[in-house]
Amino acid sequence: MNKEIKPADGKLLIFIPGMGAITSTMLAGIFHIRKGLQKPIGSLTQMGHIRLGKRTENHSPLIKDFIPLADLNTIEFAGWDIFTDNMFEAGMNAKVLGVDQLMAVKDELSAITPMSAVFSKKWVKNIDGPNVKTGKNHMDLAEQLMEDMKRTMQEKGANRAVMIWNASTEAYKAPGEIHESLASLEKAMRENHEEVTPSVIYAYAALSLGIPFANGAPNFSVDLPAILELAEQKRVPIAGKDWKTGQTLMKTILGPGLKARMLGLNGWFSTNILGNRDGEVLDDPANFKTKEVSKLSVLDTILQPDRYPDLYGKYYHKVRINYYPPRGDEKEAWDNIDIFGWMNMPMQIKINFLCRDSILAAPVALDIALFMDFASRADFYGIQEWLSFYFKSPQTAAGLYPEHDIFIQLKKLKNTLRFVMGEELITHLGKEYYDYLAED
């Protein structure tokens, strides 16, 4: 392809609805990296390499040296939250990082204070806060967000922006008639329709200003015909949904391995305990339903039970999330996997993943922000399926099933970068190394 890509000149402003544990952890890490105190562990954009050409050429530059990504030193941050805590206070309250780690970047974190948020208890019942916008209708709230963004970009001296959703999971509600077209959504927003969610208001506001939007929660923020219509009309990238971090990350790693070796599955039981704000929100059944739909969708697409009925046609899949305040952000994800092999003999796999939710999510959110900015400068717009690597429930074009196999997702991402930069795609066939396969 080798199309002209606008350079990453000037400042990039990352707008973030939801300035709690994930955001304070991400920002603290970036400020540590800027000071040379830490390495960007977990970030593909910062530490990942990409092979170009044949294996014998030994040419594998860093991704950040191969494509024109925004430099971490040129990024500014702003966002919204229902609480007024600045990012240092939010980090102290979240208790993801140690006090010494936060103190090392206290000045940088303290300088970032959230703007008042668009929020509704209808969609998130278990938390509430004082820092909330009021308006005559949903469209008025969207216009307030747009004013926030325009003012902040001017104050920060930023010439580009992206928005990443780090806020809470909203209560489950399947999309309805108001989401079928941009005109019907805008009408519903002006009429204050009860099915317009805060996340849709944020997405609408960002896209209306030409700002890319990536959805880090399982909400139907951009998985809607109306929002897709707006993204295509404004030629803006969108991506979602739900950051792929703990338990689902393990499923997209292990599931492809079971299928590759044609090992059968009888059942996969997953349970989680966590005590952060995310756990508190998900303690409400309506909000858990949204997350459950996202988590349950992974295995079917990977294992393809319709094609392999003898192996996966009858497996039982159960997911549970339990709010347990003492655990905080240190989530424990436990999986019991009942498999079977040759001669139908049963076997078991048990996983006890003692993870840190925000530590896994922070580099994902950073990568998505940088790749979405790159996509915008490359004039990519609409659904960015090549970024499925980062999501539990990747968005796809109508009629396509999402690809959940993390290894296929990574190949897709890297081949997209090669394609955009005019490099040969890597197929891993390797026939050029063997004389008997050489072409005449």
User: E strand or H helix at 165, and its extent?
Assistant: strand 158-165
Sheet containing 11-17: which strands, arranged edge to edge? 115-116, 75-81, 11-17, 158-165, 213-215, 237-240, 382-383
What structural domains does the chain harbor?
Answer: 11-243+358-420 (3.40.50.720), 247-354 (3.30.360.10)
Q: Does residue 244 contact residue 390 with C-beta atoms inside 8 Å?
A: yes
Residue 402 has a CB neighbour count (10 Å cut-off) of 16
Residue corresponding to tokens 């979240």: 94
- Tens-level pLDDT at each residue, the chain (440 residues): 656 899 999 999 999 999 999 999 999 999 999 999 999 999 999 999 999 999 999 999 999 999 999 999 999 999 999 999 999 999 999 999 999 999 999 999 999 999 999 999 898 888 889 999 999 999 999 999 999 999 999 999 999 999 999 998 898 888 899 999 999 999 999 999 999 999 999 999 999 999 999 999 999 899 999 999 999 999 999 999 999 998 999 999 999 999 999 999 999 999 999 887 777 777 777 777 766 776 677 899 999 999 999 999 999 999 998 888 988 888 899 999 999 999 999 999 999 999 998 999 999 999 999 999 999 999 999 999 999 999 999 999 988 999 999 999 999 999 999 999 999 999 888 888 887 766 55
Please tell me the pTM assigned to this model.
Answer: 0.94
d(CA 125, CA 89): 23
User: In terms of DSSP bridges, do strands 382-383 and 332-340 run parallel, antiparallel, or are they unpaired?
Assistant: unpaired
List, in sequence order, the alpha helices (H) in 283-382.
Answer: 285-303, 309-312, 357-377
